[in-house]
A = this chain, B = another copy of it.
């Protein structure tokens, strides 16, 4: 069983995934499996993955057979396990619990070679529908506190397979970065009685130097204090604390904006490795006025030195205003 442990000083939770336990000799040069054949995510290879959790496929088709256009499966090498109880316990001044949770893979397309940004409008929308469906389902599990949804694109960004997919990790605690955002946003709200994200959107629209793209429902901005070159945040314009409460018309516009933004990144940076991550309210938190869900997109262009993890102090060689300008200009080439 993996184990979840809490840093006693700053309160960060980490997972010791002993089942994947690596010995010193295992840390050789990374094998790049990106081109591994046969690909377990391709249609026809359904038996190479654990049985599917859900899939979008034509009515009447059987599970675990080809025909689907989106498929959610348990991760074959999960960092957390769904069976069991938390067994919270102390070890002197330390805190631990069993590594209980879910680890799923969202296969975004049956097409081995297509990137998320290359999917048709309705198919990229279905990826966000799948995120929502999984959150709504996992919400029913009283042991879980948070659903972390993210995408690693490219081996440099941590993807072990080329076939386009996202991942979901459901955890029995709230990740520290999200908790810090919630605390910061709450503090601002207590003082101003306004959502800080809503205020940021208003200011960005006014200044108009860091708005990468927008449509009726969503806006993509380069954060004022971007940690990484070409970092982008995508936010709903209308205040909403919970992603899973998204309206149908909004899903359409989220898909369109994400597609446009990812395409701009692809073209300006020549198909960069990237990560994106959905920052959402904790599962058990009721709708609130102070937190605002959003997606953080982080192209992986620079080597982040470990001291950046050790200090929380980031050096960004590209100003967000310059990044915005480059990403906007590419539109004219279309």
By a beta-carbon cutoff of 8 Å, the part of chain A in contact with chain B is 3, 5-18, 20-24, 27, 30, 79, 91-94, 148, 150, 152, 155-158, 169, 171, 175-178, 180-181, 184-185, 188, 196-197, 199-200, 203, 206-207, 223-227, 229-230, 268-270, 272, 274-275, 277, 279, 296, 298, 300-307, 309-320, 322, 326
Question: Of the candidates B21, B30, B171, B274, which one forms a contact with A322 in the assembled complex, judged by CB atoms under 8 Å apart?
Answer: B21
CA distance in complex: A178, B313 (Å): 10
CA distance in complex: A230, B223 (Å): 34
Contact A17 B317 (CB under 8 A): yes
CA distance in complex: A302, B176 (Å): 21
Residues of B within 8 A of A156 (CB): 303
Question: A103's closest neighbor in chain B, by CB?
Answer: B315
Contact A177 B9 (CB under 8 A): no
Minimum CB–CB distance from A219 to chain B (whole Å) comes to: 16
CA distance in complex: A185, B156 (Å): 35
Given A14-B313, A200-B93, A225-B14, A307:B150 Cβ within 8 A: yes
Minimum CB–CB distance from A316 to chain B (whole Å) comes to: 5
CA distance in complex: A316, B311 (Å): 19
Residues of B within 8 A of A11 (CB): 184
Residues of B within 8 A of A275 (CB): 305-307, 309-310
Minimum CB–CB distance from A99 to chain B (whole Å) comes to: 10
Contact B17 A315 (CB under 8 A): yes
Contact B22 A317 (CB under 8 A): yes
Minimum CB–CB distance from A94 to chain B (whole Å) comes to: 5
Question: Of the candidates B15, B27, B197, B200, which one forms a contact with A269 in the assembled complex, judged by CB atoms under 8 Å apart?
Answer: B27
Minimum CB–CB distance from A38 to chain B (whole Å) comes to: 24
Given A93-B196, A301-B27, A310:B177 Cβ within 8 A: yes
Contact B9 A196 (CB under 8 A): yes
Residues of B within 8 A of A270 (CB): 24
Given contacts A17-B317, A18-B319, A300-B306, 13 further A-B contacts (CB under 8 A): A8-B184, A10-B180, A15-B314, A17-B315, A91-B224, A93-B196, A94-B203, A148-B307, A148-B311, A150-B306, A275-B307, A277-B311, A304-B309
Given A148-B311, A175-B312, A22:B224 Cβ within 8 A: no
A selection of 17 A-B contacts at a CB cut-off of 8 Å is A7-B223, A10-B177, A12-B225, A14-B225, A14-B314, A15-B316, A16-B226, A17-B317, A22-B301, A93-B196, A94-B225, A150-B305, A150-B310, A169-B313, A175-B313, A178-B311, A279-B310
Residues of B within 8 A of A12 (CB): 225, 227, 312, 314
Minimum CB–CB distance from A146 to chain B (whole Å) comes to: 9
Contact B306 A200 (CB under 8 A): no
Question: Of the candidates B94, B158, B313, B320, which one forms a contact with A304 in the assembled complex, judged by CB atoms under 8 Å apart?
Answer: B158
Question: A4's closest neighbor in chain B, by CB?
Answer: B225
